[in-house]
Amino acid sequence: MDEKKVPAHIAIIMDGNGRWAKQRGLPRTAGHKQGAQTIRTIAIACNQRGVKALTVYAFSTENWKRPYDEVDYLCKLPRFFFRRYMDELMENNIQVRFLGEIERFPDDTRNVILTAAEKTKNNTGLILSLAVNYGGRREITLAAQRYAEDVMAQRADLQIDEAAFGTYMMTKDLPDVDLMIRTSGELRLSNFLLWQNAYSEFIFTPVAWPDFNEEELDRAITEYTERERRYGGLK
């Protein structure tokens, strides 16, 4: 694979956990657990391929509408995930971050999340961002609010360019998304990284997230490298 062409920032909508579980006669939560293991596999693989940032949609602002047991399980998954994989994340020099309004999660979940970010903050490899209680419109709304506050306090100028406004986003120092992958056959953006996906290449695969693997990742990266990105211009 041509190192230079590897996408700097990959974003993934990890869809299909529930269907994957149902097909196997398992509870939906089993799909989420398997899906968490896929995050580990794909993060390590991205790091090995020289990808700088991987951002995954783990819990949307809409997911609170799911049955209590499922929400409760999703809130407990970070503890399982970091207990099992923290050593490997450290060995692989992976930095963990979170996007989203984590205040709404129970104390325990929040502590696990903050501890993981703190422990890995000096790692210089892949930046793995988990989007939790995240919504793209909400992110832009919050950015506008903070920007307005800065203007009112005369900390920011009313004339602002896109790069400057981008610093108000939750992804502030990450590059724009280059490659956006959605698993499990759905062809939607579902309010994910609206600002950051402005010029990304989209790849949709029928494979359910728990079955997504290194081979699928390489297929997506290869397809990405073969596309011509013009950013609205001509070749």
- Site membership for ligand FPP, residue 77 (CB under 6 A): yes
C-alpha angle 229-161-227 in degrees, rounded to nearest 5: 5
Count of residues engaged in binding ligand FPP, rule: CB under 6 A = 17
Q: How far apart are CA 21 and CA 69, in angstroms?
A: 15
For the bound state, the minimum distance from the C-beta of residue 97 to ligand FPP, rounded and expressed in Å, comes to 12
- Site membership for ligand FPP, residue 43 (CB under 6 A): no
Catalogue the E-assigned strands of the chain.
Answer: 9-13, 53-60, 95-99, 127-134, 179-182, 201-204
Give the H or E element holding residue 116: helix 107-120
By residue count, the chain amounts to 235
**Candidate segments 77-85, 115-123, 144-152, 164-172, binder of ligand FPP by CB under 6 A:** 77-85
Residues 6+ apart with CB under 8 A from 141: none
For the bound state, the minimum distance from the C-beta of residue 65 to ligand FPP, rounded and expressed in Å, comes to 11
- Site membership for ligand FPP, residue 19 (CB under 6 A): yes
The residue nearest ligand FPP at its CB is 18
- Site membership for ligand FPP, residue 182 (CB under 6 A): no
- Site membership for ligand FPP, residue 192 (CB under 6 A): no
- Site membership for ligand FPP, residue 54 (CB under 6 A): no
